[in-house]
A and B are shown apart, each in its own frame.
Chain A
């Protein structure tokens, strides 16, 4: 059987990135925990060795258990019994395998039973799990909630809830969305009232589209402040399933990720604990939670893309038409090679972003224990800034690209791909949600545009450029030219001083920056490992023309034309009648 870690050398490569040294140093604080915990690393190399060994366990479970169960989970799906969710048999087996291997709560501190692994390794695991079964990745990936409790919960809450993840294998859920509060979470209505008599918070109301809604531990966004209607009236709560005060009313029937239960929940006088401070629910805690979830979707998308690519390759090498295997035809090998090139690019961006998030979080943790040096504080700020714009960038690009790759992979399968005979049919359906949940592509673009307007992207591009060796002058030249064009057009759009116009071109600008960044990352990768040379060249070639197209579109765009895009109600009716 394949091992998803061993058959993807990129993971090892990204673990060798210079930034990892810094992350480990901060997270392991001179490796002092090795005195206290027999499984803590002794030094840097030991830590890396442990990461690789543990990721190999994940890779084995992914191929032998999770991927093997993916089809049956897709068919069986979860169901409701006595107001509770019952997973598909394969889902239960998958979770059990990961739990028994000690892989729940990977990035939690050791004192809470976790492995204290950097986010980087956790995201790699998430990518593999998603390649095996994207729907299942949601259930496993919701251990992110533990991170949020760890970051913002009280010591008492941490002691109470966190050890349960690794020890008992509890599941988690983030309970945010409501029928009238999807992308716009400030309209959340679920009511939280404080009972003076019982000295606890009580939740009442309905939540909808909740992934893994019947989890053991839920983080719930609720309105704690009476007579408010905006974000500042919302707080975050922990609800423990052992209270049996939430009814699962309905499970959604979905296009894809069918193994992951999407629940409608009714809270009936459900006791809950406040996390952190009142009123900070959405503006602080959910934002943090969403950021890790977005990174999670980035990993999920790369995993799906990889699965789709491998299916395409396998099929094209095997399927013969007109007397030869179809991979010999230019139209097919172009698609397949471009898949690989794009995956290399996405993965580079994914782990670059994860490194930024890891470092900013590690500094955050260190700050709780000691005063940071001035230099450290500056660095923390810089990585926070980068995380804030790179996270939506990876979510946007990876989710959109994984859909394209799944589309092309199905195309390569021909008519057979449209049938349920091959995994690509499921992968294609599973891919579709990635550009929607945890903030749509359109919302990611709005979050990432700050990277364009504040110059964070440009600054980072310049930094990459300074690291490109002269040997790579050809690609460097192309990337510099792309950067000039990007700089010119973003300035032009921004200087037109129309928020609406900027909004209109937002995605184009963000994608232009993303293309340049990924181009540089691949070139820099190729300097560390020759196996990226081909991808770097082909990727830059691809995006040079993509960026020219976007540049031309924006450059020729007349602000007045915006009006032409606006459809009045009557006009819509006229055209549809």
Chain B
């Protein structure tokens, strides 16, 4: 089996499981300063899947790609601690405020810079937006097959990868040619822990931005050990169209945010018929849940 080149997409997200009362600003946007940040849980599963393939197919390399503010370099460090080979940050103020469309555009530009690749892995969805759109949009833009809800890789051969998908009512086994993109479900194995030697090796990994405010010791260490410098790509580095990134590239606008107290205590099950779905959509529009 030839070695694979895997890219893992990961996002730093607010720790929504530990939300305080001041988590939202009055204007309805997230008050990031008040929330601790974590590695998006589904993305950790994706990273584990990648590392597992690396264990199975010798020579495979795993590159972690993340887009975010300077602090998101934590994600790359975490990846190194757990065994990825490379990490790349896409970080530039101009990328800020991106919705899923602008995000997938930006990530795809990054992925293309990393090409060639065999497999792109990402979590099913991020806990801050819960859209599950970024993975599929990337596949679409890259014009490669996508497999969502992956739980396990059953087989890898020269030209084909066979995965088990975890669906609501069962599992599905599908095969895809390379290259392809997969989004990984939270039912897949939990990510391995940090490796002691990797932690000690990479704890001083920094982006150029971070390094600017670091002490001399760290700067000279980076000169001696270039692998500690995390590549940090700006708009120009990935040749992104300024119209398609950040707020400008994001048609999604948040109209308002309300606090909702959930009172219903039962779930509603729908059949898969178009008629039922249409009825449900009408109901949701009527209640102003969507629209």
Contact = CB atoms under 8 A, between A and B. Distances in A.
Nearest to B51: A100
B195 A100 contact: yes
B290 interface: no
Contacts of B195: 100-102
Nearest to B225: A38
B141 interface: no
B192 to A, nearest CB: 5
A60 interface: yes
A50 B192 contact: no
B196 A57 contact: yes
A39 interface: yes
Interface in B252-266: none
B193 A97 contact: yes
Interface stretch (B66-74, B99-107, B125-133, B198-206): B198-206
Nearest to A104: B196
B196 A101 contact: yes
B196 A102 contact: yes
Given A50-B199, A50-B203, A53-B200, A42 B194 contact: no
Interface string A99-113: 011110010000000
A57 B194 contact: yes
Contacts of B193: 57, 60-61, 97, 100-101
A54 B203 contact: no
Given A101-B196, A102-B196, A53 B225 contact: no
B30 interface: no
B197 interface: yes
B192 A102 contact: no
B221 interface: yes
Interface string A36-48: 0011111000000
B190 to A, nearest CB: 8
A102 B198 CA distance: 9
Contacts of B201: 38-39
A102 to B, nearest CB: 4
Contacts of A53: 199-200, 203
B192 A100 contact: yes
A97 B217 CA distance: 34
Given A39-B197, A57-B193, A100-B192, 15 more contacts: A38-B201, A39-B198, A39-B200, A39-B201, A42-B217, A42-B221, A50-B203, A54-B196, A54-B199, A57-B196, A57-B199, A101-B192, A101-B194, A102-B196, A115-B196
Interface of A: 38-42, 49-50, 53-54, 57, 60-61, 97, 100-103, 106, 115
24 contacts: A39-B196, A39-B197, A39-B200, A39-B201, A40-B200, A41-B200, A42-B221, A49-B203, A50-B199, A53-B203, A57-B194, A57-B199, A61-B193, A97-B193, A100-B193, A100-B195, A101-B192, A101-B193, A101-B194, A101-B196, A106-B196, A115-B196, A115-B197, A115-B200
